[in-house]
Each structure stands twice: as C-alpha cells, then as structure tokens.
Amino acid sequence: MIVPGSSSQLLAAALAEETGRPLATPTYDRFPDGEGL
C-alpha cells in the first residue's frame, strides 16, 4: 500500500499506478496556526 504525504499525492498516485499497489486515502489535519500534523 502506498501512503501519500500531503505534498506528494501526485507522486504517490503515479507510483501506485506503476507498481499496481493500492493507494491509501489519508486525512490531513492542521493546527489552528496552519501547521500540519
């Protein structure tokens, strides 16, 4: 399973398609100041 990061979703999708592995669909949360978890 390929798990994309918040800034690498396109790369992860291409990698999953090329390798035939499933692509996870994570959720991303942010702190009130905009910083990512």
Task: Report yes or no: 27 and 3 within 8 Å, Cβ to Cβ.
Answer: no
For residue 12, tell me if it sits in a domain: yes
Under 8 Å between Cβ of 30 and 36: yes
Q: Output the pLDDT for position 30.
A: 85
Identify the pLDDT of residue 19.
98
**pLDDT tens figures, 14-37:** 999 999 999 999 988 889 998 877
Q: What is the pLDDT of residues 3-19, one digit of tens each?
A: 998 889 999 999 999 99
In a domain, 22, yes or no: yes
Q: Sign of torsion, CA 17 23 25 28?
A: negative
Asked if the structure places residue 13 within a domain, the reply is yes
Domain that holds residue 13: 1-29
Model pTM above 0.85: no
In a domain, 24, yes or no: yes
| Number of separate domains in the chain | 1
Is residue 36 domain-resident?
no
